[in-house]
Amino acid sequence: MHSLLQAAQGQPTFDWGFFVDAVIHPSGPFLTGLWRTVYISVLAQALGVIGGLGIALMRRSRFPVLGWIGGVYVWAIRGTPLLVQLVIVYNGLAATGIYRFSDLTLGSVTLLGVIQAAIITLAVNESAYMSEIIRASLDSVDDGQTEAAKALGMSPAVAMRTVILPQATRIVIPPLGNEFNLMMKSTSLLSVIGVQEMFLTAQSINSATFKTFEIFMAVAAYYLLLTTIWSVVQAWLERKFGDPATPTQRVSMRERLLGGPARLPLTKAVHG
């Protein structure tokens, strides 16, 4: 009530001390939620890339059935909200008796059932988007590379592994980095199935302190920190795996974080 009276009288209600303390000295539960956000994002993205590669190869297969299955998968996953998919996988499967996620213990590590469901759902969702990125990257490799590999006696599988994929990887890395940024932010949706990641932990702290603006500004600051750190890592990956003969592929950190002229030939490669 006091805060409402202050707001009505035009007095500032933002508690800077609480905000700074939440950012600089986060609580144990908040740090646990932050760690869960990070490792769920990493595992889900890794599985999403593997699944996306499989779907992309299916869609490029000479067998029409595999291409059709891959196309339906991408259509269904990309056409439904991630929030709905989370509820279907965790709550829906259990409610219908199809499958119930139970805690999994590996040595001294216990992976909660709800976290398993979160990782799997995020990976399934991400694989649909990554499959299109990977497929476009594979298609952007000059057909002459494939013909040259055949002329050298390489099988299609060997040519794909040693000639096509290494070249496509250079094109995949920039959009892969963007997808991982989206993945980290999408983990906030996991609160709907009860995963105690950073967002749901902040909701619990808010319920106890009623410092809504301050705690969620702190959460925003940590999400911004995570995405900024990843931007630095992504820039390093692009420099390491990029084509040294194509300096226009390099984007400055200022342009990466604050925006700037699009100089990447990726747009043409993926959408052209």
pLDDT at 199 over 70: yes
pLDDT at 176 over 60: yes
The domain that holds 64 is classified in CATH as 1.10.3720.10
99 and 93 in contact (C-beta within 8 Å)?
yes
**pTM of this structure:** 0.82
- Nearest-angstrom CA–CA distance, 99 and 173: 35
pLDDT tens-digit map of 13-42: 888 999 999 999 999 999 999 999 999 999
Which pLDDT value is given to residue 5?
A: 46
**b/e burial code for range 208-234 (CB count within 10 A of at least 16 → b):** eeebeebbbbbbeebbeebbeebbeeb
pLDDT at 257 over 60: yes
Q: Which residue has the higher pLDDT, 161 or 242?
A: 161
pLDDT band with cut points at 50, 70 and 90 for residue 256:
low
270 Cβ contact partners less than 8 Å away, ≥ 6 residues apart: 133, 136, 137, 140, 171, 175
pLDDT at 252 over 80: no
- Is residue 3 in a domain? no
Mean pLDDT of 176-192: 93
- Is residue 260 in a domain? yes
Question: What is the span of the domain harbouring residue 208?
Answer: 10-271
Which pLDDT value is given to residue 128?
A: 96
Mean pLDDT for the chain overall: 85
Provide the CA 238 distance to its chain's centre, in angstroms. Answer: 17
- Is residue 237 in a domain? yes
- Is residue 2 in a domain? no
**In a 3-state reduction of DSSP, which class is residue 109?**
strand
In the chain, what is the greatest distance between 2 CA atoms, to the nearest angstrom? Answer: 81
**b/e burial code for range 74-112 (CB count within 10 A of at least 16 → b):** beebeeeebeebbeebbeeeeeeeeeebeeeeeeeeeeb
pLDDT band with cut points at 50, 70 and 90 for residue 145:
confident
181 and 228 in contact (C-beta within 8 Å)?
no
pLDDT tens-digit map of 54-88: 999 999 888 999 999 999 999 999 999 999 999 99
Residue type, 69: I
User: How many domains does the chain fold into?
Assistant: 1
- Is residue 1 in a domain? no
Name the percent of the chain lying above pLDDT 90: 60
- Is residue 131 in a domain? yes
Mean pLDDT of 185-194: 94
- Is residue 189 in a domain? yes
- Is residue 4 in a domain? no
Residues facing 109 on adjacent strands = 106
Q: Could you tell me the CA-to-CA distances from 65 to 59, 60, 75 in Å, in that order?
A: 9, 11, 15
